[in-house]
Structure 1
Amino acid sequence: MRAKITYVITAAVLVVYFVLVGSRGVLLIQEGTALTVTFGCAVLILPLIGAWFLWKNTQFVTKANKLAAELEAEGGLPVDELARTPGGRIDRESADAVFAARRAETEDSPNDWRCWFRLAVAYHDARDTPRARKAMQHAIALHEGRA
């Protein structure tokens, strides 16, 4: 729940920032000189890119949470079986062992979104965020019938 609250607050701050930057772009365009209109248009592009990124990221998180809820209802969420250091960090060797098991499971069932979801969690635990995201995107695509 804490992560959701943080995400909502961060998204709200970004929206306020986009509005402020966008208003500055409009003010620059209203000046009417070639230079300020050019800068104003360039400034307006930044909030549009940011809003698009925020929208895509929110869609991804919503879909991933939907998969997690469905997998939890089925009793298929991965169990936290990772060893931890005294400071609470995940032990690298433990994460690698779980990752190997999840990868083998996914290779055995490459069209099962559940396996890809669990592989994404294993990538995340191994601190490989780009691959975790790609695996989760593949799980979402499989769940939606797009893969």
Structure 2
Amino acid sequence: MGGKITYFFLATVLVLVFGVVAMEGVLLLLTGEPAAMGMGAVAFALPVIGAWFLWHNTRFARSAHRLAREMAAEEGPAGEEPRRTPGGRIDRDAADAIFAERQAETEDAPGDWRAWFRLAVAYHDARDTPRARKAMQRAITLHDSAPADA
């Protein structure tokens, strides 16, 4: 729950910053000077781009959380938890072993969103965030494109 609160707080602060930057952009546009108007246009465009990224990431996080809830409802609590170091970090060798299992599972069932979800978690545990995100996007796509009765 703490992660959600932090995300909501930071997103709210970011939206407020977007608003301030957009207002400054409008004020620069109203000056009438060409250089200031150019900076104003850029200052007005940056919040639009930032808002798109914020929306995209929020939608991704909500979809991944939805899949996690569905997996937990189907399979119960999470399966095997990788070993941790005394400092609390996931042991690299344990994460690699679980990753190998998850990768083989996904290769055996490439159309199963559950396998891709578990692979995404294994990538995350192995500290490979870009591949974890791609695998989770694949899981979301497969889940959302699957027939409702499947």
Q: Which residue of 1 aligns with 2:65?
A: 65
* Equivalent residue letter for 1:10: L
SS of 1:32 mapped into structure 2: coil
Aligned equivalents of 2:45 and 2:6: distance in 1?
26
How far the C-alpha of 1:80 sits from its partner, in A, is 4.1
Counterpart residue identity of residue 144, structure 2: E
SS in structure 2 opposite 1:82? coil
Change (3 A) 1:85 1:48: same
Is 1:28 paired with 2:28?
Answer: yes
Structure 1: stretches of 5+ with no match in the other structure: none
Structure 1 vs Structure 2 CA RMSD: 1.2
Q: Give the TM-score taking structure 2 as reference length.
A: 0.94
Structure 1 vs Structure 2: percent identity of aligned residues? 60
Moved segments of 4+, more than 4 Å = none
Query: Where in structure 2 are the equivalents of 1:19-98 lying within 5 Å?
Result: 19-75=19-75, 78-98=78-98
Secondary structure, in 3 states, of the residue corresponding to 1:90? coil
| Partner Cα separation in structure 2 for residue 17 and residue 77 of structure 1 | 39
For structure 2, list consecutive stretches of 5 or more residues without a partner in the other structure: none
User: Counterparts of 1:26 and 1:52 in 2: how far apart (Å)?
Assistant: 19
Note the C-alpha offset of 1:64.
Answer: 0.6
Q: Is the 8 A contact 1:68 1:77 kept in 2?
A: no
CA contact (8 A) 1:78 1:118 kept: no
Contact 1:77/1:118, CA 8 A, preserved across alignment: no
Deviation per CA, 1:58-97: give whole Å up to 9, x if none.
0001111111111111016642421111111111000000
CA separation in 2, counterparts of 1:23 and 1:69? Answer: 40
Q: Distance in 2 between matches of 1:101 and 1:78?
A: 15
User: How far does residue 2 in structure 1 lie from its aligned partner after superposition?
Assistant: 0.7
Q: Following TM superposition, by how much is the alpha carbon of 1:30 offset from its aligned partner in structure 2, in angstroms?
A: 0.7
| TM-score computed with the length of structure 1 as normaliser | 0.96
Which residue of structure 2 aligns with residue 18 of structure 1?
Answer: 18
